[in-house]
Amino acid sequence: MTPIEQGLRRFLYLGALAVGLGVPAELLLAEHTGSAVQLVPFVLCGLLVAAVGAAWGAPSRGSVRAAAGVAALVGVGAAFGAWEHLEHNFAFAAEIDASMPVSGLVVEALFGASPPLAPGALAVGGALLFAATWRHPSLGAKGADANQRA
């Protein structure tokens, strides 16, 4: 691996780590702890930080592949969070004004109190971690090819 590749991989790991540590801090400040489903991003961030630590601190075929899996799980969790935010906003708008047309409810869902793009920060962390594992030297030639097809 060239020094440039090492530097880029380090940057990607640091970015994923920053997301994994920063998102929970923001969620705590926003009091995002009212229900069990609101704790999901905390779990995902914990997994993200652990995966970065394993893949960066002790890179092996297993730790790098596990980190790529965690990255995918974080992406799915972020999509779930966006859906939850949209659904919450939609239901709240429908409760406030039951006569509102569906188009109005959709607009309210997009611009409601629960920001639907906020879980995107978590998706960025997953994407950074996945990019850090892309064609990682620990995967070897066979693993690098499999990661490239993913």
pLDDT tens, residue by residue, 34-48: 999 999 999 999 999
Residue 24: pLDDT band (50, 70, 90) is very high
Residue 150: the pLDDT is 45
**Total domains, the chain:** 1
User: Is 80 or 141 the better-scoring residue by pLDDT?
Assistant: 80
Model confidence at 1, in pLDDT bands (50, 70, 90)? confident
Give the residue numbers spanning the domain of 122.
3-149
For residue range 102-121, list pLDDT tens digits in order: 999 999 999 999 999 999 99
SS3 per-residue string spanning the chain: CCHHHHHHHHHHHHHHHHHHHHHHHHHHHCCCCCCHHHHHHHHHHHHHHHHHHHHHHCCCHHHHHHHHHHHHHHHHHHHHHHHHHHHHHHHHHHHHCCCCCHHHHHHHHHHCCCCCCCCHHHHHHHHHHHHHHCCCHHHHHHHHHHHHHC
Q: Quick one: pLDDT at residue 140?
A: 87
